[in-house]
Structure 1
Amino acid sequence: MKIADRIIVPLDVPTEEEAIALLDQLPQVTFWKVGLELFVASGPSILQELKSRQKRVFLDLKFHDIPNTVAGACRSAARYGVDLITVHATAGKDALKAAQAAVEVGAAEADQAVPQLLAITVLTSLSARSLAFELKIPLELPEYALHMALMAQECGIPGAVCSPQEVSHLRQACGDRFLLVCPGVRPAWAIAADQRRTLTPREAFEAGANYLVIGRPITTAADPGAAFQQICEESFPIA
């Protein structure tokens, strides 16, 4: 798979019109992420737009609720024919197992391929300090992220979302077939902003990431296409 196909660009804009403008600016991007802001604003029509352009879709709504509600949301989301869907690992084992069963049912009902579920381990905006002092979680952050990923894998979830700083540890523990997607990745020339646990794209791929989510360094650049191309060129793993 080409490096360009392993970089997911988020449509983190408030309207469908702005999202379509980004799609028009970046026709070379094959994989797009739709998150809460845009999906709440536009609903499934933006997913239909992406599908009509033969794009891959990461539906990043981070479902987190009781098992029955998570399952219902995953079943509905799977009907859209998206490629990736997120659910918080902290919803617990019952919710994770129900979510995996539900995407299989929803995809079958709509005659779609089964999307891959990704468990959110620890949000990349959280630091070790906030985990310990705000959330009162006694584990060290890497240990906690690994626990969340292993629990998800035990429940049949095929992948996880983690910080690039945890990806090497998760890859070693979860094996080569477990899908690892890393947001919070920043090229050396970009500002980290609200991301706390970052690596460069090349470092993240070398550590074992399957896909990277890279937004603002591309979408807010003066020339988004040139920024995307530069990141692709800089991302080839040495190892």
Structure 2
Amino acid sequence: MKDRLIVALDVDTFEDACMIVDELSDEVSIYKIGLAPFIGYGFKIIDYLKSKDKKFFLDLKFFDIPNTVELAVYQACAMGASMLTLHTIGAKSMIEAAISGKKRYEDKFGKSGAMLLGVTILTSMDQESLTNGMFIEKPIEEAIFGLAKNAYEVGLRGFVASPFEAKLLKDKLGDDIVVVTPGIRMDNSKDDQKRASTPRFAIENKADYIVVGRPIIKAKNPKQAAIACIKNMKGED
């Protein structure tokens, strides 16, 4: 289960991020770099993770014209990202461009590029925010599946989904897809995550990886929190 836990490095400084990586070194091999840490110290922490033989998940949620996304995916692959995110709302042409960017990297260097993960509806959103904020009248599960199916049809095989939709996507699209699940909380508290759940629930609902941020990095003892999370994934607590 250790290899299925991704820790989000959502901390203010490079030094704080390094401390987290060092403390969790024995338990965690993949770290998520989102917008804030990437803007603040992204290239430094990427170099640091590489020096520690750790993988990184670049969570910048690409959403732009197809040509720009194709170039961004190529550069992210060249940077060494193991995973990266893009918004499926960008439509088929943008997703096809992202896949082309990955393929161009792979053809040029002869090695695998980053796993492309489509983001459908953010886990901070619920039905009310979908309807009143994005003006999408469909039920949230229907909207999520529609966006994922659209992306799947042009070749995308990785998705970000809440614990509540991971099984839905696997059951309807097939087990050849990879699902990465954020919104993980050890005690079912949700804060700004509207569709959150425990690690065990996510794994039982067919998540391949889970992303955990605050419950680990804000804990008094991050290492013990990571160990507790892994045990919960296994159903051992």
Q: Give the Cα–Cα distance (whole angstroms) in 1 for the partners of residues 224 and 45 of structure 2.
A: 25
Q: Give the Cα–Cα distance (whole angstroms) in 1 for the partners of residues 179 and 227 of structure 2.
A: 23
The residue that corresponds to 2:54 in the other structure is: 55
Q: Give the Cα–Cα distance (whole angstroms) in 1 for the partners of residues 210 and 101 of structure 2.
A: 26
Q: What is the RMSD of the two structures over their aligned residues, measured on CA atoms?
A: 1.5
The residue that corresponds to 2:85 in the other structure is: 86
The residue that corresponds to 2:23 in the other structure is: 25
Deviation at 1:169, TM superposition (A): 0.9
Give the aligned residue type for 1:191: S
Q: Give the Cα–Cα distance (whole angstroms) in 1 for the partners of residues 216 and 9 of structure 2.
A: 11
1:10 aligns with 2:29: no
The residue that corresponds to 2:184 in the other structure is: 185
Aligned match for 2:204, one of 192, 203, 206: 206
The residue that corresponds to 1:232 in the other structure is: 230
Q: Give the Cα–Cα distance (whole angstroms) in 2 for the partners of residues 34 and 110 of structure 1.
A: 24
Give the aligned residue type for 1:186: R
Q: Give the Cα–Cα distance (whole angstroms) in 2 for the partners of residues 155 and 86 of structure 1.
A: 16
Q: Give the Cα–Cα distance (whole angstroms) in 2 for the partners of residues 46 and 110 of structure 1.
A: 24
Q: Superposed, which structure 2 residues align to 1:102-141 within 5 Å?
A: 102-109=101-108, 112-141=111-140
Q: Contact between 1:9 and 1:213, CA under 8 Å: does it hold in 2?
A: yes
- Flag the 1:35–1:107 CA change in 2: closer, same or farther, 3 A: farther
The residue that corresponds to 1:45 in the other structure is: 44
Q: Where in structure 2 are there 5+ consecutive unaligned residues?
A: none
* Percent of aligned pairs sharing the same letter: 37
The residue that corresponds to 2:71 in the other structure is: 72
TM-score (norm 2): 0.94
Runs of 4+ in 1 over 3 A off after TM superposition: 107-112
Deviation at 1:45, TM superposition (A): 2.7
Q: Give the Cα–Cα distance (whole angstroms) in 2 for the partners of residues 45 and 219 of structure 1.
A: 19
In structure 2, the residue corresponding to 1:43 is in which secondary structure?
helix
Q: Give the Cα–Cα distance (whole angstroms) in 2 for the partners of residues 192 and 220 of structure 1.
A: 15
Q: Give the Cα–Cα distance (whole angstroms) in 2 for the partners of residues 237 and 81 of structure 1.
A: 33
Q: Give the Cα–Cα distance (whole angstroms) in 2 for the partners of residues 111 and 178 of structure 1.
A: 23
1:106-145 deviations in Å (ceiling 9; x for gaps): 3444554211100001100011101011211011101111
Q: Give the Cα–Cα distance (whole angstroms) in 2 for the partners of residues 105 and 11 of structure 1.
A: 29
Give the aligned residue type for 1:194: D
1:137-195 deviations in Å (ceiling 9; x for gaps): 0111011111111111112112100111111111101111100011001112x632110
Q: Give the Cα–Cα distance (whole angstroms) in 1 for the partners of residues 33 and 131 of structure 2.
A: 30
Equivalent residue pairs, number: 235
